[in-house]
Structure 1
Amino acid sequence: MSLFKKIFGTSDTPGEDKEKENNPYLPEQQLPVDELFTLNFKKNGGKFIYCDSTTDLQEQFINVLEENDWFECEAMCFEPRLYPLLDENKLQYKNTAHPKFILATCESLVADDGSILFSSNQIKQHKPGYLPDNMIIYATTSQILGNKSDCLRAIKRRYDKDYPTNITAIKYFEKAKDEDFLRYGSVAKNLYLLLLEDL
């Protein structure tokens, strides 16, 4: 490295940096998985809310309800550990016909494409298209993994032999502005991620 570059942070030759940026054969600089997930998740249209404590998480949940005027409406939830959040806010979640949103956890957060991995533990046997259009997902920073293979390995370790079924990922969180064949068959959801710091 030249002295000029050390002092000013630029290269001696003006085309050197551009050549490095445009060279497809050089490996890309790897971001930490949490940063990579955040970037890809936001690029997919997800709404990301960082929480540093469970109290903060409860406050942010109320903020999401206020923002969307979801108080005194029906919700969908299949996880008993999340029922207190709904009970505190007087939301109906048993035997609902027209839920406005689903409150759920997830199996993993996939960093390399910004998607969220679910299983029958969170959404039972429902396909993404049959879930409400609005989702509030509670997850922790320890659930962020590099790619879907890492996520499937984590599921295998977590459940030992009683593996969940209906493992599915939701990747798009806003409707496509243009017709995009890569999104064909995928369902866009209005998704809020309440991410609790646990590391």
Structure 2
Amino acid sequence: MAKSLIPLDQLRPPEGLATGIDVIDDFLLWKGIPKGDLTLLSGKPGTGATSLWLQAAVQVQQQKKWVAWVNSDWELLPSALVSKKINLQKLLVVKKPEESSQLFWVLQEMISSGLFEMIGCHLQESCLKLHQLQKLKKMARTYQVALVIMSSSRSWPSQSLFSLVIDCQGDFFTIRRAAHRPTPFTIPGGLIYEDLMSQFKASSRSLLR
């Protein structure tokens, strides 16, 4: 009988990083973006993918932890960082690698540094080969880092490597893949922006005190 008992630590849900958006965090087993794994946020510019990452970054920084972003064809705008109340002292922005082949090396170095809770970057599906994604996934698990990839493409052939896939379309957000959860799960964009605005107002009030 004793041999069949499962250790308590194995019964706990896997760790996650809260996005601060209740409707998403409450649905996901990790209560946010999974640590030690890959997440894909797909969506064209202006549909909320980067805003979602920034909102999660704020939550991480409130825990006195660091986040990082690798610039590519998409760069983080200073105005977005200010509006989201990002702590620039807990954010590392890496300039776009001169060659796409360097990107894989950069991501490996950042993950293995152990400095960051979450790393984000915008990529096209052709930027990383399947075996490279597999290695990054393994490294993310080893170092317990949340690697979040944003892409304007919805047709990544290697989507099965991502534990969490969210399709961002502005008017609605669809969770297409999430461990132990019924998917697809569609959330009206209004609910997400409502949470974003409440977080912004709360942050503004704290600054005024």
Range of TM-score over shorter length: 0.3 to 0.5
TM-score by length of 2: 0.36
Please say which structure displays the higher CA radius of gyration.
1
TM-score by length of 1: 0.38
Specify which structure has the higher proportion of helix: 2
